Amino acid sequence: MPETIVVKIGSSSLTSEEGGLNRESIAYFAQELAALHQKGLNVILVTSGAVAAGFKQVGYASRPKVLHEKQAAAAVGQALLMQAYQEALTKFGIVAAQILLTRADFSNRKRINNALMTIEELLRLRTIPIINENDTVSTDEIVLKFGDNDYLSSLVAAMTKASQLVIITDMDGLYTEDPRKNPQAVKIERVDQISEDIMKLAGGAGSAVGTGGMRSKIEAARIAMRGGVGAFIGKVQQPGDLELAIAGEGRGTYFDTQLDNLPMKKQWLGFHSLPKGKIIVDGGAADALLTGGKSLLPAGIRDIEGEFHPGDVVEVSSQSGETIGRGVVSYAAWQVQAAAGLSTEEVRRRIDVNRIEVIHRDEWISLR
């Protein structure tokens, strides 16, 4: 089975500040993708740019901020974007396939499994699937999206068990400070754990035509790493840069992981499911879940938030407020509240539950 590479390209790399597609940029990226494809790799492209490509064509003077205006711009821009990619890749004998996804697709296990089967078949047929968020039917996603498709690219990389995720940006990696403001800033070549200190190094907003910044890219790298996929964040501007990035010699920062790929059930639980509530646990229960391979028992529970029922997904957090994971709960919220802090024997005496574990370890995923 050929290795799969997921490449994410943002709006600012494909369009001008004034709006509209930069055909030279698309031709360049098509050539870079084709080089990987011709080496026998499976290539998946996650692209932004529909709104930026379409707002000028549809008649807006600047990138719109109102939801229905963004959706109108995306409806025009997505067609232009795919046409440009198709024309550029056809020169290399490659067929481009369009896949539009929303957050709701990922939260529905049947729909995302169908999407995965479609992607796998397209790769078998040696096409390049081109994935974008379905902005024209999104609701809050288009306003609250996870950084110009950075998050989407990490979900796709984990879902397809990719060998690597390449997130292309205008910065050549992560620095100790903003190198545009401090020339003494030092580039971080490799990261094997994304700590809070690493997150603090990330900047804020992206360009005028995009919505991503370095922080959203590091968040995407975190998701990819948790899914067993290494990531690269950096520049791809010159011929051969994408191959260098894949080979470990790119102009950017590498995010390494020793974790194995997650099965789809765990991916859905950790990244795609919509939690219905929260369970707060003490230090002993947190350690048991994170390092002991144990289930969550009532004795370690200190509090709950929200209203949930058996079979719902809930977040689990420490008493300091840190989210440590998610799981499928086997109790209703009122049962957890009643059982919190009690021993197993007490719970069995007082509460009618099907199983003593509030969250079984087989229905749990750590997000640390």
Q: Write down the domain spans for the chain.
A: 4-265, 275-366
**CATH for 4-265?**
3.40.1160.10
DSSP class of 268: I
Confidence check: pLDDT of 307 > 80: yes
Average of pLDDT values for 52-62?
88
What pLDDT does residue 180 have?
Answer: 83
Residues 6+ apart with CB under 8 A from 21: 14, 15, 49, 53, 80, 81, 84
Confidence check: pLDDT of 203 > 90: no
DSSP class of 255: E
Query: 43 with 32: CB under 8 angstroms?
Result: no
Closest among 70, 94, 170, 78 to 132, alpha carbons compared: 78
Query: 14 with 52: CB under 8 angstroms?
Result: yes
Closest among 154, 146, 150, 170 to 47, alpha carbons compared: 150
Q: What digits encode the pLDDT tens for the residues 255-299?
A: 999 888 888 889 889 888 889 999 999 999 999 999 999 999 999
Query: 141 with 292: CB under 8 angstroms?
Result: no
Options 2.30.130.10, 3.40.50.2020, 1.20.120.330, 3.40.50.2300; which CATH number does 275-366 get? Answer: 2.30.130.10
> What is the pLDDT confidence band of residue 212, given thresholds at 50, 70 and 90?
very low
What pLDDT does residue 200 have?
Answer: 83
Residue reference for tokens 């796998």: 120
Residue reference for tokens 């940029």: 25
Average of pLDDT values for 128-132?
97
Confidence check: pLDDT of 209 > 70: no
What pLDDT does residue 135 have?
Answer: 67
Which percentage of the chain shows pLDDT scores above 70? Answer: 93
What pLDDT does residue 347 have?
Answer: 94
What pLDDT does residue 196 have?
Answer: 81
Helix axes 150-159, 214-226, angle to 10 degrees: 10
Confidence check: pLDDT of 165 > 70: yes
What pLDDT does residue 144 have?
Answer: 41
On whether the pTM is more than 0.95, the answer is: no
What pLDDT does residue 143 have?
Answer: 40
Closest among 236, 263, 264 to 249, alpha carbons compared: 236
Confidence check: pLDDT of 134 > 80: yes
